[in-house]
Amino acid sequence: MAQQTEQVGLTAEKRTVIGKQVKQLRRQGWVPGVMYGHGFDPVPLRFEKQSLRHVLSKVGGSQLVSITIEGNKQPEMALVRDVQRDPIRRSLLHVDFYRVRMTERLTAEVPLIVVGESPVVEAREGILLQGISSIEVECLPGDLVDAIEVDLTDLVEIDQALYVRDLAVPASIDVLTDLDEMVVRVVPLEAEEVEEEEEVIPEAEEVEVITEAREREAAGGED
């Protein structure tokens, strides 16, 4: 099954401050950002730090955010595309939003979440190994889901596996990831050490999107 959550809203103000001057914005409780998209000129924005932090704690890269820009009549629908944080303090430094057209298909990474428990693992006859943790999809923005469930109760035998083709994905969403990619597999307990050496699950990395707007800011000396 796929999980959908209610829409999340955020307010923003247009930003004229760029380059090194954004340090002053951060000291005043703002986070600089930019919104860009297909057929849409990049717009430098600033977000109230606490509000932005709250929204980012609730959404992922596949959930739409309704952004109301001060002075605009209609909110913009957008996806989080990149979040920059201080490497030590983890404070927010910059955020990118990708503006979407609700009638234009897009591609996005949707995370996979594990639900239920395999009877074999529960009986301690085997252990669970995880393959990929997200899939790439294409769909209309309104059809996006924030996660797709992986039901472990279907794994009732040793060496049984679930692949991308086994996932319950809504018909309105096209899966771009190879359907033969393994999602999870149950292996015998005695194979644990060998399998752990072979199966390495990398940590998820945030997608970095380089835009003309960001390049111009970098040229202005922004940290």
**Does 147 have pLDDT greater than 70?**
yes
Was domain 106-197 assigned CATH 2.60.120.260? no
- Burial grade of 85 (CB within 10 A; 0-12, 13-18, 19 or more): middle
> Which residues are registered as beta bridge partners of 135?
110
Q: Provide the pLDDT for residue 203.
A: 45
Q: Provide the pLDDT for residue 120.
A: 92
- Output phi, psi for 179, to 5 deg: -65, -20
- pTM of the entire structure? 0.74
CB 103 within 8 A of CB 159: no
Q: Provide the pLDDT for residue 208.
A: 42
- Alpha carbons within 13 angstroms on the beta-carbon side of residue 165 total 5
Judged by DSSP in three states, 131 sits in coil
**Does 1 have pLDDT greater than 90?**
no
In this structure, the dihedral spanned by the alpha carbons of residues 17, 22, 26 and 32, taken in order and rounded to 10 degrees, is 70
Task: State which amino acid sits at residue 139.
Answer: C
pLDDT 10s digits, 103-140:
999 999 999 999 999 999 998 889 999 999 999 999 99
Q: Provide the pLDDT for residue 153.
A: 94
- Alpha carbons within 13 angstroms on the beta-carbon side of residue 114 total 15
**Does 60 have pLDDT greater than 90?**
no
Q: How many residues does the chain have?
A: 223
CB 129 within 8 A of CB 114: no
Q: CATH number of the domain at 2-102+212-219, please?
A: 2.40.240.10
From the list 43, 18, 12, 48, the residue with the least C-alpha distance to 30 is 48
- Output phi, psi for 121, to 5 deg: -70, -40
Q: Provide the pLDDT for residue 48.
A: 96
Q: State the pLDDT confidence band at 24, using cuts at 50, 70 and 90.
A: confident
Domain boundaries, given as residue ranges, for the chain: 2-102+212-219, 106-197
Alpha helices in the chain (DSSP H): 22-27, 49-56, 119-122, 192-198, 212-219
pLDDT 10s digits, 175-203:
999 999 999 999 998 755 555 555 544 44
Report the C-alpha gap between 132 and 146 in whole angstroms. Answer: 16
Task: State which amino acid sits at residue 27.
Answer: R
Alpha helices in 95-170 (DSSP H): 119-122
Q: Provide the pLDDT for residue 219.
A: 47
* Placement of tokens 């309104």 in the chain: 142
